[in-house]
Amino acid sequence: MEVHWFRGDHSKLVHLYRDGHEVNGEAAPEYVDHTEFVKEAIGKGKVTLRLRNISVSDKGSYQCSFKGSGINDVASMNLSVTDKCHALGLETQIFVQTPGTEGLMVECNSGGWCPQLQMEWRDNRGEVVPYSSEFYSQDGARFFHMKMTLVLRNQSQGNMTCYIHNPLTGEEKRTNIIL
């Protein structure tokens, strides 16, 4: 008997169980010591994989492929992960630079978010202002960090707001600066 667990697109082997043994060393590195094949229900036709220390990056589709005793079968499933991390992240900071005669460069930085959030700049009328650049990263604890830069040619902009929205919880955070 052989049971393969893959991420949904078959890009990563999550776990391999072959001839009564778990096969270590073939799974993607991020799943080593992160998964366990549950053998107790094999006699009932159930093949279960337990994920330990689940994080946001584990969400998505998975596929189980079973081969043995003349039976070949495939099952797919989708794993949803509810975050336990701090939804509103850490303090949001706004930095202003004058790179020359081109106007002002305004940058909004925020981190410690889970899940990845949506960030945008809004003017004093609440309208979205197109950003010049954005950057997202994820740290070792799988928290998201982001910064969004805006170049303002007209220096008399008034109130500018860095608006952050968590699409999962609906929570939002606003940080203002008067220019």
Please provide the size of the chain in residues: 179
Please spell the DSSP secondary structure of 85-151, one letter per residue.
S-TT-S--EEEEE--STT-EEEEEEEEEESS--EEEEE-TTS-EE--SEEEEEE-TT--EEEEEEEE
Q: Which domain holds residue 159?
A: 93-178
Reported as a single tens digit per residue, the pLDDT across 14-37 is: 998 888 888 877 888 888 888 888
Q: Tell me, what amino acid is at 12?
A: K
- What is the average pLDDT value for the chain, to the nearest integer? 84
> Tokens standing for 130?
């197109």
User: Domain for residue 152, yes or no?
Assistant: yes
Q: How many CB atoms lie within 10 A of CB 148?
A: 21
User: Domain for residue 121, yes or no?
Assistant: yes
Report which of residues 72 and 9 the model is more confident about. Answer: 72
Q: Residue 177 above 80 pLDDT?
A: yes
User: Domain for residue 88, yes or no?
Assistant: no
